[in-house]
């Protein structure tokens, strides 16, 4: 009898997730409970250190008697990751605290994973699902998209702190969640057409998060802390769905490929969620879905729905649509299935009023 070895599927989850007003004050207790009582390294930006990092340091040092070092980063490039890794090697902390928005968390996640120590995510914005996912996106690396690093051991999301960030960040976070509508459709398509692994549970979780945000668009509009809590829970669920899937599949499809392409063409124009949001309008159209419903929701949120509002040219949008599949050739989506050519890209952008 031939014994076929079972395929391994590894899932890594956060052990503690705390979301709410003022929860940063509990950072010492969380650290202690997880067994980190001696040393820590805080990775933050200069602004996010002021917003939350300093308080984390104080709490760990004064109340827990821990030795806490700080390392400030401003970008999320390969050099930043290398610098943090060198810091980890020199200081040998038990745990890394990632205090910041997307970039700081990405750097801390990637460098701590490379150095085989855990990290705790302390987001200061709710602008995308990277605050809770096991994936990190590093500029200047070979891949223009997120790659698997490690899941945070804990997430401490203090809504009182996150409320201080411009509301545009939260809107971007909502869009990153709404993008799961097309991401999940693309994943299912890859399963049907290419026999790619598809995890129904992970897909449902991502989809449920997107529905939840859609249902609460009205509340989000009022810019209150309760809306932010709902968004954070949705972003964290998306992160967990990627942990279950073992990849970004449930959360990143053709709309993200468009977003990545647009970011490559026009760096620093619009936020991650904003680019993906506009992508979701167009990809919903391609999937034969109700793209107007997506656009209405984005409009209600005050999010950009066209090239002008994104601050890019019409040509950039068309170029990004053409480039999207090449951003990640192995990721099969509706764009591969329809294999658009020539004028079809322009037609798509015009039909959805993106240009």
Range list of β-strands (E), the chain: 16-20, 39-44, 67-72, 95-100, 119-123, 135-136, 147-148, 154-158
The strand pair at 135-136 and 154-158 is best described as unpaired
> Of 255 and 316, which CB lies nearer to Zn ion in the complex structure?
255
- At closest approach, how far in Å is the CB of 133 from Zn ion? 9
Of residues 252 and 305, the one with the C-beta less far from Zn ion: 252
Instruction: Report DSSP state, residue 306.
Output: S
**In the complex with Zn ion, which residue's Cβ is closer, 66 or 202?**
202
The distance of closest approach from Cβ of residue 283 to Zn ion in the complex, given in angstroms and rounded to an integer, is: 13
* Pair of tokens at residue 347: 């037609």
If we measure between CA atoms, which residue out of 137, 260, 129 comes closest to residue 206? 129
**Each residue of 308-344: b (16+ CB within 10 Å) or e?**
ebbebeeebbbbbbbbbbebbeebbbbbbbeebeeee
- The answer to whether 246 and 262 have CB atoms below 8 angstroms apart is no
Residue closer to Zn ion by CB (options 176, 274) is: 176
For residue 20, the minimal CB distance to Zn ion (Å) is: 24
Handedness of CA 81, 234, 201, 145 (dihedral sign): negative
Q: Closest approach of Cβ 86 to Zn ion, in Å?
A: 29
What is the rounded CA–CA span in Å between residue 102 and residue 30? 22
Give the binding site for Zn ion (CB under 5 A).
128, 176
Least separation in angstroms between residue 264's CB and Zn ion is 15
Complex with Zn ion: residue 31 or 125, whichever CB lies closer: 125
Q: Is 118 left (phi over 0), alpha (psi -120 to 50) or beta?
A: beta
Q: Provide the minimum distance between the beta carbon of 144 and Zn ion in the complex, in angstroms, as a whole number.
A: 13
- State the DSSP string of 255-308: HHHHHHHHHHHSTTSS-HHHHHHHHHHHHHHHTTS-HHHHHHHHHHHT---SHH
Q: Name the residue nearer to Zn ion (CB basis): 104 or 128.
A: 128
Choose between 14 and 53: whose C-beta lies nearer to Zn ion. Answer: 14
In DSSP terms, which residues pair with 71 in a beta bridge? 43
- In the bound state, the residue with its beta carbon closest to Zn ion is 176
CB 177 within 8 A of CB 250: no
In the bound complex, what is the minimum distance in angstroms from residue 267's beta carbon to Zn ion?
A: 17
CA nearest 268: which of 53, 103, 92? 103
20 DSSP β-pair partners: 158
Nearer to Zn ion (CB atom), residue 23 or residue 183: 183
CB of 197 to Zn ion, least distance (A): 20
């Amino acid at each position: 009898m031939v014994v076929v070895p079972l395929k391994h599927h590894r899932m890594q989850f956060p052990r503690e997730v705390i979301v709410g007003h003022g929860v940063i004050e509990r950072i010492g207790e969380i650290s202690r409970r997880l067994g980190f009582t001696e040393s820590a390294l805080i990775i933050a930006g200069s602004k996010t250190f002021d917003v939350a990092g300093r308080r984390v340091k104080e709490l760990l040092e004064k109340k827990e008697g821990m030795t806490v070092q700080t390392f400030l980063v401003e970008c999320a490039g390969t050099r930043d990751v290398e610098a943090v890794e060198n810091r980890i090697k020199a200081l040998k902390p038990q745990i890394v605290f990632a205090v910041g928005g997307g970039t700081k968390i990405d750097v801390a996640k990637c460098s701590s994973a490379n150095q085989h120590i855990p990290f705790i995510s302390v987001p200061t914005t709710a602008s995308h699902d990277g605050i809770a996912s096991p994936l990190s996106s590093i500029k200047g690396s070979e891949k223009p998209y997120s790659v698997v690093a490690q899941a945070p051991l804990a997430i401490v999301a203090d809504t009182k702190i996150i409320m201080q960030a411009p509301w545009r960040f939260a809107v971007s976070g909502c869009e990153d969640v709404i993008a799961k509508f097309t991401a999940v459709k693309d994943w299912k398509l890859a399963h049907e057409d290419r026999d790619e692994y598809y995890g129904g549970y992970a897909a449902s979780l991502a989809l449920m998060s997107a529905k939840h945000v859609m249902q609460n668009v009205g509340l989000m509009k009022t810019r209150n802390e309760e809306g932010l809590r709902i968004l954070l829970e949705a972003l964290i669920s998306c992160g967990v769905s990627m942990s279950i899937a073992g990849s970004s599949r449930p959360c990143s499809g053709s709309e993200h490929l468009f977003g990545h392409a647009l970011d490559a063409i026009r760096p620093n124009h619009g936020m991650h969620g904003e680019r993906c949001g506009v992508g979701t309008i167009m990809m919903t159209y391609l999937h034969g879905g109700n793209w107007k419903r997506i656009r209405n929701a984005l409009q209600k949120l005050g999010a950009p729905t066209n090239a002008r509002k994104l601050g890019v040219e019409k040509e950039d949008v068309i170029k990004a649509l053409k480039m999207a599949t090449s951003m990640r050739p192995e990721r099969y989506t509706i764009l591969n299935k329809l294999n658009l050519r020539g004028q079809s890209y322009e037609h798509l952008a015009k039909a959805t009023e993106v240009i």
